[in-house]
Structure 1
Amino acid sequence: MPITWTVRTPPSWFPRALLYTALALVILIAGFWVLGKLQGLLTILLVSLFLAFAIEPAVNWLARHGIPRGAGTGAVFLVLLVVMVAFFGTLGALLIDQVTMLVQDAPGYIQDVVDWINRTFDQNLSGADLTKYATEWSSTIEGYLVGLAGNVWGIGTVAIGALFQLLGVLLFTFYFAADGPRFRTWVCSLLPPRQQKHVLRAWDIAVEKTGGYIYSRALLALCSAIAHYVALRVFDVPSAFALALWVGVVSQFIPTVGTYLAGALPVLVALVHDPITALWILLFIVAYQQFENYVLQPRITATTLDMHPAVAFGAVIAGAALLGPTGALLAIPVTATLQGFAGAYVRRYRVTEEAGPPPKQKRRWLSRSRTKTPVEPDRTVDE
């Protein structure tokens, strides 16, 4: 008996669905390719947007006092430029002084090291031996420097690229801050009236949280710089102002590792002069850090940015994994903005009486009920 094959015609919608699926895959692949190519520009726009959020409260304050937004944004930029030049100039002077002092005192340090090695390990070294070792090390270092000089073209290209990225960030930040109301109006004009209210509210939350983060950090940096300046002057550590400025800025504006980087420099400078002084400086840094974490920071951030340290630490790790150092710097203000969104849009419920700890007057009754009769089932308490 012959075998008959029945060929079924596909449904009329199948070719169209297949075409739409292929088109969606092509668009998805093209979108990922475009995002990969524009990653640098998107990063610049993201950084510029959050910097604009950070300075917009100051620009708004100047605008309320009759200063045009463009001039107010330029004034804020000028103040920030002066602060950055003063910061790096002060640290540069500190570095030059310490290197000069280290070079001048190098023979004495070498002789002290030789004496310590001879006493501790029962050796018979001399300064000439260390000079020979230093000569060999300098030849090795010279070879590395020669190889580094051979890559000067690549280093120069990277430096020029970084300079253009910095100029791009400054340009977009200026436009976002100076034309903030106009930019918001343009964005809202693309949305229905019902959604415009939510966009404006989200925008205000982002400005409030980002600006609050920057200003709370600046106030904490000022308090830290003043406290460490007084301590460094009391212990007679040289370059007290520069070191206090370093501790205040680095400990507050570099996430997670900023505290350790900030405290290492004054301890090293004090160690060059007197190990006992370095120990006292280390103890003061640790004590002040505890005072800042448990007393000062909760009071300052109570009205600006209230975030659990574990949440901040996790946000920094996630930001660094996504965008590297840029993500680590933006992680805390972004998380604060999301936390503000959650507080504004996520509904919260009052904890029921059974879910929370029992009141004091019922604890004795509950203890007796557990021993004599079973506890009644939980009852839901309406909000």
Structure 2
Amino acid sequence: MVDEDAPAPYVPTKAAPAPVLLRHSPFNIGFFGALGALIAIFLTEQLLSISSVLVLLVMSMFLAIGLNPTVEFFMRRGLRRGLSVLLVLVVVISVLALFVVAIAPVISEQIAAITRNAPGWLDDLESNAQVQQLDAKYDVIAKARDYIQNGDFGERVFGGALGVGLKVLSAVANSLIVIVLMIYFLASLPSIKHAGYSLAPASKRPRVSELGDKIIRSTGAYVAGAFLVALCAGLSTLIFSFIVGLGDYAFALAFVVGLFSLIPVVGAFVSGALMTLLALTVSPTVALVALIYYVAYQQVESYLIYPRIMKKSVDIPGSVTVVAALVGGSLMGIVGALLAVPVAAALLLLHREVVLTRQDAR
């Protein structure tokens, strides 16, 4: 029997939660937003501080990928990768040493001769009627002569003798760093690829490996093809310079033209202008012949040499090449212009193989 007068049993109740700060309050949003912005600014500054090191790393990897097809060529002949890498490096270093010993002094002497003779060329230009009209309006000749003949020109450009020494030392040190890193990347490229592909999920790893190998092969073929195109440009310029009477500057001109040929789009205009200006020191007729020759050679290179060499490496429209070279040059200078074309080709490959494939499957 239940006693109705007995008090009801005590049932504990949950205490009301203490008031907390709303997660989406303006304070929280502002605080964490400002904190994220500060962290982003700090990381950006740190990244910019090591930008020179990153450029050396990218150049080293770029050269290693460019030499990798040659290494794989020897591997297909039965050599181990270590011996193949050693053989390729011996050949590359031998060619560089031969260039430094045999060609570099001649190029340096010819560049010095161009610098010495430049004031005299300005005097010769003053006798031209059209140049006299331009000089009367803008005082071009006097400004150019003062700029070249000024005694502190080298000091303003390089910071004096100490600045020249430091720049030479820095260039040598950077070259050694690039060579050492290139050797490391070239020897350990398979393990680097394996480590990079391992970051992808196991189900997509074969597809990622396939695309990555395609990009690496196309980049390597592009690097090798670019050097072949530059070699053709340099040799043709060397022969033409001896024919038209520019033999005193033939090696320097061929070296500069070959070097600028590595830079898409922009290099052709700079090389053509330099060749025409040097030919103008001989006579206006030679300058006109040089201009016609260079325009004709660019057509041969663009429609015959370049397509035949690059047809198996990069599949990229000409307009994309121009835009990529301009964007890469504005971001990273000459190095950016060199890397722009293979990077654009890689992005187009990913677009065709991944994005368009998914779109077509829907």
Query: TM-score, normalised to structure 1's length?
Result: 0.68
2:84 partner amino acid: G
Aligned residue pair count: 331
1:64 partner amino acid: R
Q: 1:90 aligns with which of 103, 110, 126?
A: 103
Instruction: Please name the residue that 2:20 is paired with.
Output: 10
8 Å CA contact 2:56, 2:177 repeated in 1: yes
- In the aligned structure 2, how far is the partner of 1:189 from the partner of 1:262? 44
- In the aligned structure 2, how far is the partner of 1:110 from the partner of 1:46? 42
Gaps of 5+ in 2: 1-17, 134-141
Are the structure 2 counterparts of residues 168 and 195 from structure 1 closer, same or farther at C-alpha, using a change threshold of 3 Å? farther
Deviations 1:241-261 (A, max 9, x none): 626743662342023321123
Q: 1:171 aligns with which of 164, 177, 180?
A: 180
Q: 1:45 aligns with which of 57, 61, 84?
A: 57
Instruction: Please name the residue that 1:297 is paired with.
Output: 306
Instruction: Please name the residue that 1:198 is paired with.
Output: 207
8 Å CA contact 2:314, 2:345 repeated in 1: yes
Q: 1:258 aligns with which of 263, 267, 275?
A: 267
- In the aligned structure 1, how far is the partner of 2:119 from the partner of 2:46? 56
Gaps of 5+ in 1: 1-7, 122-132, 352-381
Q: CA RMSD in A?
A: 4.5
Query: 2:85 matched to 1:73?
Result: yes
Q: How do 1:337-376 residues align onto structure 2 when only pairs under 5 Å count?
A: 337-347=346-356
2:208 partner amino acid: V
1:344 partner amino acid: E
Q: How do 1:236-255 residues align onto structure 2 when only pairs under 5 Å count?
A: 236-238=245-247, 242=251, 245-246=254-255, 249-255=258-264
Instruction: Please name the residue that 1:366 is paired with.
Output: none
8 Å CA contact 1:69, 1:179 repeated in 2: no
- In the aligned structure 2, how far is the partner of 1:54 from the partner of 1:336? 15
Query: TM-score, normalised to structure 2's length?
Result: 0.71
Query: 2:346 matched to 1:334?
Result: no
- In the aligned structure 2, how far is the partner of 1:252 from the partner of 1:150? 30
Instruction: Please name the residue that 2:14 is paired with.
Output: none
Q: How do 1:119-158 residues align onto structure 2 when only pairs under 5 Å count?
A: 141-145=150-154, 151-158=160-167
Are the structure 2 counterparts of residues 350 and 181 from structure 1 closer, same or farther at C-alpha, using a change threshold of 3 Å? closer
- In the aligned structure 1, how far is the partner of 2:154 from the partner of 2:199? 56
Instruction: Please name the residue that 2:284 is paired with.
Output: 275
Amino-acid identity (%) = 25
Task: Kindly state the Cα deviation for residue 61 of structure 1 after the two structures are TM-superposed.
Answer: 1.5
Are the structure 2 counterparts of residues 40 and 195 from structure 1 closer, same or farther at C-alpha, using a change threshold of 3 Å? farther
